[in-house]
A = this chain, B = another copy of it.
Amino acid sequence: MANDKKLVEQITSMDEDFVQWYTDIVKKADLIDYSSVKGCMIIRPYGYAIWENIQSILDKRFKELGHENVYMPMFIPETLLNKEKDHVEGFAPEVAWVTHGGSEPLGERLCVRPTSETLFCEHYANLIRSWRDLPKLYNQWCSVVRWEKNTRPFLRTREFLWQEGHTMHATAEEAEAETLQMLEVYANFYEQCLAIPVVRGRKTEKEKFAGALATYTVEAMMHDGKALQGATSHNFGDGFAHAFDIKYLDKDNQLKYCHQTSWGITTRTIGALIMAHGDNNGLVLPPAVAPIQVIVVPVQQHKEGVLDKANEVTNKINSFVRAKIDDSDNTPGWKFAQYEMKGVPLRLELGPKDIANNQCVLVRRDNRQKYFVSLDELETEIPKILAELNEALYNAALERRSAMTYTVENLDEMIEVAKEKPGFIRAMWCGELECELKLKEVAEVSSRCMPFGEEGFGDKCVCCGKPAKHLVYWGKAY
């Protein structure tokens, strides 16, 4: 087990240095590599395969709900970006500008899209004439660019991958329903497929998307108690429709402005996976998005019949799970450590004795629990154990979140908890920007969201003591 130890020793313990632990995992689990392109990352095959699984699940769900994929140009002319005032103020400071094509300066600078509301609006203005053209439910998978100063793999990079849904509706009600529907798609995806519980809620005015009427969010808690915004869904009302003149002739023969939404999820989701489930042995992946769900490790593979049987078992289970065999000449101990690092949910060990008994050993990644299973029962047992693991991951994350969520009633408490106890802080708020800014300054927390379906517990703002309007989750965030 010398190799095993060596591999594990290379990761910093998360209790010692959480930031370094994270950085170690993204490198050692072969998720990313750095390049000479500052602030950007190379997503390696194992990391990209996780993203492909995320895409595949969500793309199917979007299409079931009637959305269609399109592809917009990656460039936005400066005048187009400038069309909606709040939007350009939000994004202009962090866009990359193309100024030359070949050796010639461009007549007008183009920014590399930081998000594509303006392009979709221009297109929709072209397409939409009548109520018969509505709703329009478009989505695109692409990369976007925001010129961040401080970057970290997956969590904040100058270029990142995402999907952006952009929809147009006849009425305000329909737009609001779409916004909330898509938030729920993300919430379900986080909870069911990623095994990460989320708080659903609305962002404050300060934290909402540039140009939106309302932004909704799903907020997840990481191992270190910090919040991670998991995905957002925005209701734009008819603000952009006015700026871009997007009108339709309604059944009553009146010209009306369209109502608009957008919603997105990004590769930072992979960062959330790492920090919600990972441990000191590496990544822990929920089965739905794991590139390899079962790794088959032959034991004493030089002995006659072992490799043949291991290959046979791998092929057999590949009909119902994503399985792979590692028949390299590394030791089983090295392989165990390697696939623990990569977060493979289940390990299947098979040696001469197992074969003689027509069984194998299954080992769960999360708690190393062992199961001795007949080779004839893998088709029922593997999915069962994977489902148990998924539930255990979710429950562990939920318990941690419960244990690390604090309710405070006054400013002193808030400051103390924020200083001493990592986690979410529930507190009432008057709704004023001034208090939000003050809490940022004195307690170093930002508002994460005003949660859905939770009752308030007091009538005073935690900051100013004036009448409270909203219950808010506060926290430090990625």
Contacts and interface: CB of A to CB of B under 8 A. Distances in A.
Given A145-B74, A159-B74, A80 B42 contact: no
Nearest to A77: B36
Copies of this chain present: 2
Given A33-B126, A80-B36, A123-B33, A70 B42 contact: yes
Contacts of A97: 98-101
Contacts of A51: 71
A17 to B, nearest CB: 24
A333 interface: no
A72 interface: yes
Given A98-B112, A101-B96, A123-B35, A45 B68 contact: yes
B75 A159 contact: yes
Interface in A52-82: 52, 68-77, 79-80
A138 B36 CA distance: 19
A101 B111 CA distance: 9
Interface in A422-455: none
The secondary structure that dominates the A interface is mixed
Given A35-B123, A37-B110, A95 B102 contact: yes
A280 interface: no
Contacts of A45: 68-70, 138
Interface in A1-43: 33, 35-37, 40-43
A438 B145 CA distance: 46
A26 B264 CA distance: 29
A145 B75 CA distance: 10
Interface in A120-142: 122-123, 126-127, 138, 142
- Please give me the 7 A-B residue pairs with the lowest Cβ-Cβ distance, nearest first: A101-B147, A40-B73, A45-B68, A43-B71, A37-B73, A97-B100, A99-B99
12 contacts: A37-B73, A37-B75, A37-B77, A42-B71, A43-B70, A49-B68, A73-B159, A74-B159, A97-B99, A98-B112, A102-B147, A142-B143
